[in-house]
Structure formats: structure tokens, C-alpha cells
Structure 1
């Protein structure tokens, strides 16, 4: 994803990861909508990577099928479950300037995506999060989910002195070189991954940009709220111990404050080199990292 414009200036790029587990029934529609939206209105080079983490339905077949006819879609399969594990794997290997992720249900309005990544591409900020709890957000969801979300974020403020407003919104982005520095220090591979990433960022005085989002609750959500809440509380306890023992400091790269960002033209955005720097292509790869461990180099397989 290293393109230059007619003036020889390298164009900025973003890789959007969509982590999925048993989502064959919605994958084609969601990725199709996302791809069409970005092609029509996103002014930077982009790649969409479907990260299938241990699906047991036809998700992998659906993902590889999408790579055959959508030019900016790539697919990766991991044998172990975990949203955090999937994001670590893809983000750590990305060649894009900025890596992002969003939930497959596209509950968050896509009009918020450019405001999410623009401060990172300019070098102004290091991480960016969509916030459903921002006073300017427009959110449609039931009172139970609203109460749980607000309670969790209140616990983060009280227990970890967190200043960000919404830890679990599935709409985030980070400068790739910043993530590579933070990744070895992130222990969680599931739902607490987001919170751990943000707490580490704050403790290392990174700049976090928040975007109020339009968000509509997905009635098909299969998140186990009780199990997730228990895991989050355990994760908070682990982070508290790390903070108390001073184990949150990370050596970080300088903020890339060039003050100049070159957007790709619509024509340039539709031509994207592959991971090896070659011509435009889409692809799929399958890898089998052991649970809880860093993934080995991927074995690529054409879709």
C-alpha cells in the first residue's frame, strides 16, 4: 500500500479490519456496503481485511468469495477465537499508515469513518475511537445495554483513572507504528483488548481522538454480556496491578506530525498494491496460531 501521486508524494493508506466469527449470513452484505461506501467517498488508499477467527460455519468460504470480485478485500483465517487476537495478527503485519476496525454489523454510521482516521493520517493524534457516550452521539439501543456500557466506563474512570469515554465501541483506529510498539504489552486476546490498548495509550501520554458516532444496536448481537463483564473486571484488576508496579511504560515512536497529508484521487484509490508491494490484487490467507500465542508467519493462499 505504498503509492505516490503525480508529484512523487507518498499517499496515506488505511487498513480496515472486520473481525468475524460465524457471520456467513451477514458478511456479503456488510462488506459489500462498506466497500461501496469507501470507493465512493473515502479519499485515501484503503484495504478491507476480513479476519475470520475460528468460524465453524461458511464464513471463510464467504470471505474468500468476496476477495474474488471486490478489489480491495483481503481475507485471513485464524484457527483460534478472539477479536483481540485477530486484530493483533492483522494490525501487526499491516503496511498501511493507519489500521482500524469496525464490527461486521456496521452498527456505527460509516460517515464517522473519515473523521475517525483523518487526525491519525495527519499525525495530529495517535489513536481514535468512536464514542456512543459523547454528548453529540446519536444512539439507538435498549436501556439494559445503555446501563451496562455506562457502568463499565464509569468503573474504568474510577478504577483506572481512564479519561476516554467509550472503551468498547467497535469503531477504532491507531497509527500502525504506534500499535506495533504497544502490541507486545497487550495481554488480552478477546474483548478486553480495546480497553487494554486505550489504557496503555493514556499511560504513555498518547493522544486519543474521540468521534461522536451514530450507532444503532444490532438485535442479532451474540455477545455473552455476563461472561464479557467478568472478563473485563478481571482485566481491570490486572491493569491496576500493572499500573501500581509501573509496568505500563512503553518505548514509542515520535508522532508523525508532518502537517501534510495527500489524499488519493478516486482513480488512485481503486488501485492498491498487495502486501509485497506488487500490483493491485485481493487475496486470502490462512494461518493457525496456537491459542494465546503470537501467530507464526502466514501461509498465503489465493482465493
Structure 2
């Protein structure tokens, strides 16, 4: 593992986004894989998520780091993550970075672009997709895939605990809306996506979405760049404590994708 020298970068309130990302990456040692976990008011759930993730990653042949992006939480999410980091030690380092801009897309973007690992990606704090999915994911990435995404609708997938009716109906409509945009992908919204760094960076510089259309646009940009995307069927469990609101967030989801469709050819 190559360690980056530690530097201190002073950034004023008007410091550039580029400088802040540079500062983040210099504070994090180089690893094979960085796992980004976006978090909003996850103080209660994040300890178990982190401990399970550390236990899994510590037994893998690749080096890893967990990066929790605190997306403007008003609870003790950041403090809890720092405490868990001290308790777990250095086998799998845990970092926390802030993101004041609202939206999961903004939080994921912040985490992805602030690292230097060869492979990086994100999953949700509810661990709806089994951690074991990372084993096959890393195999595909090491073999040359640009992106590996979990799918609840690919042949062979299994819904261990399905979503309630309102979310299922909304999800079906959302997939119909995005089908013509991201071709060949059955599930753009499953919260488990991992990437090869260079392919990710090339796609991210073209992305503008930070809300619900973030996943759709990122996959679209990857396809525009002829990047290979592997869709893995998974045994998926709906998070009972999900903060997604079917009506309010569903309307925002459709609005985001419609705006994306108007903005891209």
C-alpha cells in the first residue's frame, strides 16, 4: 500500500471545491477500495452498519477504507462515526467528511471525488444489499469492468423483504421513465454502485445532477463514454427505517429525471 504524505491545507470560507477535495484526499491513505456511505441523521443505525462493514472488509484480500459522508445531519451522526472509528482501529480505516449541500447525489458525489483509490463506490446505510456482493463486484472491476451495480430486477434477483405497495408502484413508473435514457439497465436506483476510478472521473465531470436523478445521469454518462457496466442480481431487503417518502420524494424523483431528459440529447 502506498501512503500519501500528510499535508495541512488551509482553506477559507471561500476556498475552492477543488482545493477541499485535494485536502480530503491528502488526509486519506491510499487503499484498493473506498466504500462511500451517504448518511443523513443515521446516528442510531450507523454503528451496526460500520461494524458489519469493517468485519467483512477486514477479511478480504484487498485493502479498504470506509468514508461516511454526513449530509447535513442534525443528530450526532458525525460524532458517532468518529467514535466507531477510534474503537475499530486501523484494520479498516473509517473517515467522515461533511457535505452541506442537500441530497444523496451531492453526498455521494462529494465522497467519490474526494478519494484516490483505484476502485470506489457507495452503498446505503441500511445495508439493503448484502455486503458479500462486494466480492463479485471486485472480481468484475479487477477484470476490467468500469462499473458494477446491484439490481433488484435482473434475472436471478430476490426480494427478501419487498417494498410496500406505494414504493413498488412508484418504482415501476420510474423505471419506465428512465428505460429509454439508460438502455439495457433494469435498475438504476439500487443503492449499491462501484466503479473503476478513471472511468468514474470521466463520467462525473459531465454530471450536473445532485438529487434523485444522480444515479441515472451517472450511468448515462458512463454509457456515453462506452464504459462497460455489469448489473448484478442481488438478494435485496427493503430497509424498514428508510427515510424515502413515496409521495414527496417520488414527485421529486420524476421531476429530476424529466429535467435531465430535457437537458440531454
Fold shared, TM-score > 0.5 on shorter chain: yes
- What is the alpha-carbon distance in structure 1 between the residues aligned to residue 167 and residue 254 of structure 2? 17
Residues 131-183 of structure 1 deviation map (CA, whole Å, 9 limit, x = unaligned): 0011201112133333322321122114x252211111011011111222222
TM-score, length basis structure 1 = 0.72
Q: Partner of 2:68 in structure 1?
A: 50
> Which residue number in structure 2 is paired with residue 104 of structure 1?
125
Provide the secondary structure at the position in 2 that maps to 1:211. Answer: strand
Provide the rounded CA distance (Å) in 1 between the counterparts of 2:252 and 2:225. 24
1:190 & 1:236 partners in 2: Cα distance? 10
Tell me, yes or no, if structure 1 residue 132 matches structure 2 residue 152.
yes
Given candidates 34, 37, 48, the residue that maps to 2:53 is 34
Which structure has the higher relative contact order (CA within 8 Å, separation 6+)?
1
1:1-303 correspondence to structure 2 within 5 Å: 2=2, 13-40=32-59, 42-70=60-88, 71=90, 72-123=93-144, 125-139=145-159, 140-141=161-162, 142-158=164-180, 160=181, 162-244=183-265
CA deviation map 1:201-222 (0-9, x unaligned): 1222211101111111111111
The 8 Å contact of residues 166 and 246 in structure 2, kept in 1 or not, is answered as no
Are the equivalent residues in 1 in contact too, given 2:85–2:95 (CA < 8 A)?
yes
User: Contact between 1:192 and 1:231, CA under 8 Å: does it hold in 2?
Assistant: no
- Asked if the contact 1:30/1:106 (under 8 Å) is kept, the reply is yes
Deviation of 1:106 (Å): 0.6
- C-alpha distance 164-2 of structure 1, shift in aligned 2 (>3 A): farther
Pair 234,33 (structure 1): closer, same or farther in 2 beyond 3 Å: same
| In 1: Cα distance, 2:252 partner to 2:210 partner | 11
How far does residue 118 in structure 1 lie from its aligned partner after superposition? 2.1
| C-alpha contact 1:97 1:121 (8 A) present in aligned 2 | no
Contact conserved, 1:67 with 1:75, CA < 8 A, in 2?
A: no
**For 1:69, what is the secondary structure of its paired residue?**
helix
Cross-structure match for 2:14: none
Relative distance call for 1:227 and 1:187 in structure 2 (3 A) is farther
Shift >6 Å, 4+ stretches? none
| TM-align CA RMSD | 1.9
CA–CA distance in 1 between the matches of 2:65 and 2:253? 31
Contact kept in structure 1, 2:212 and 2:257, CA below 8 Å: no
Residue number in structure 2 paired with 1:260: none
Q: Which runs of 5+ in 1 are unaligned?
A: 4-10, 245-303
Q: Unpaired runs of 5+ in structure 2?
A: 4-29
* 1:116–1:210 CA contact under 8 A, matched in 2: no
Per the TM alignment, residue 12 of structure 1 is displaced from its structure 2 partner at its CA by 7.2
